[in-house]
Amino acid sequence: MIIAIDGPAGSGKSTIAQAVGERLGLTYVDTGAMYRAVTLLALEQGISLEDDDALGSLALELELEFSESAQGAPRVQVGGRDVTNALREPLVSQKVSYVAAHRKVREALKLRQRAMAEMGDVVLEGRDIGTVVCPRADLKVFLTASVGVRAIRRKRQLEEQGIVVSAKTLEREILLRDSHDSTRSIAPLKKPRDAVEIDTTDLSIEEVVERIEAEAAAVGSDRGGSC
Ligand code: CDP
């Protein structure tokens, strides 16, 4: 089975996709981490965030690995280095939507994401999974939430990493990133026509996961595992 979960920043995609993966025995793929990893490397290497060729090469050559900590928390490694926390640093969050707008970056990462999806039994989360990467996914979900709630969720997530940012600042950053992601010309963030939309503003994680589980049980998996 392939489940695609898309939605704007802070709508709960990572938490929900991980939980759905555990519940249904699906591999969890965080596609945002791939765009963040390219951004982190570009910043570290002083590559211009306007250089489509150089960013495309970074994406093509990205040695990225998803793994789990001893406690089962998802970890991301690039070239053998654990970058899980670095990927969530404010500078990466501010710059990632510029990197993600580049055609060569998107092409390179889309091919990787498809290859992972077509290994089967996966839940992928991102912005264009149901529209571009896996338009034939068995189930497509579009998560939303009010911007205030999304900023508070992001604030708590950063605090766990020891980073303190005000909810107002995060709200501005989230709105700016959503605007870049929804208005770019290639693979913009938008709800797939046939997606189940869930507003998570007033729902618990458990309630959202149960809803997705029920939808997954209803559709079953009959599309041959191709994207
Ligand atoms: O966790 P959060 O919603 O803040 O972001 P993320 O899923 O880590 O994605 C970070 C950024 O990567 C997004 O704002 C997009 O610019 C980009 N992205 C994308 O363009 N396409 C995807 N499939 C996933 C992420």
Confidence bin at 137 (pLDDT 50/70/90): very high
Q: What is the pLDDT of residue 172?
A: 97
Q: What is the pLDDT of residue 49?
A: 98
Q: Give nearest CA residue, ligand 1 atom 7.
A: 32
pTM equals 0.95
Summarize the chain as % helix, strand, coil (round to 5): 50, 15, 35
Q: Does the beta carbon of 7 sit less than 6 angstroms from any atom of ligand 1?
A: no
Q: Are 23 and 209 in contact (CB under 8 A)?
A: yes
Confidence bin at 143 (pLDDT 50/70/90): very high
pLDDT for 57-116, tens place per residue? 999 999 999 999 998 889 999 999 999 999 999 999 999 999 999 999 999 999 999 999
CA 67 to chain centre: 16
Q: What is the pLDDT of residue 223?
A: 65
Q: Give nearest CA residue, ligand 1 atom 13.
A: 97
Q: Domains in the chain, please, with CATH?
A: 2-219 (3.40.50.300)
Q: Where are the beta strands (DSSP E) in the chain?
A: 2-6, 27-30, 64-68, 74-78, 81-82, 122-126, 139-144, 196-199
pLDDT for 150-178, tens place per residue? 999 999 999 998 999 999 999 999 999 99
- φ, ψ at 199 (rounded to 5°): -85, 115
User: How far is it, in rounded angstroms, from Cα 106 to Cα 181?
Assistant: 12
The set of long-range contacts for 213-222, using a CB threshold of 8 Å and a minimum separation of 24, is: 213/20, 213/23, 213/24, 215/139, 215/141, 216/1, 216/3, 216/20, 216/24, 216/138, 216/139, 219/138, 219/139, 220/1, 220/138, 221/1, 221/2, 221/138, 222/138
Q: Give nearest CA residue, ligand 1 atom 16.
A: 97
Q: What is the pLDDT of residue 72?
A: 85
- Return the best residue to mutate from 29, 85, 97, 172 for the ligand 1 pocket (most ligand atoms within 8 A of CB): 97
Q: What is the pLDDT of residue 151?
A: 97
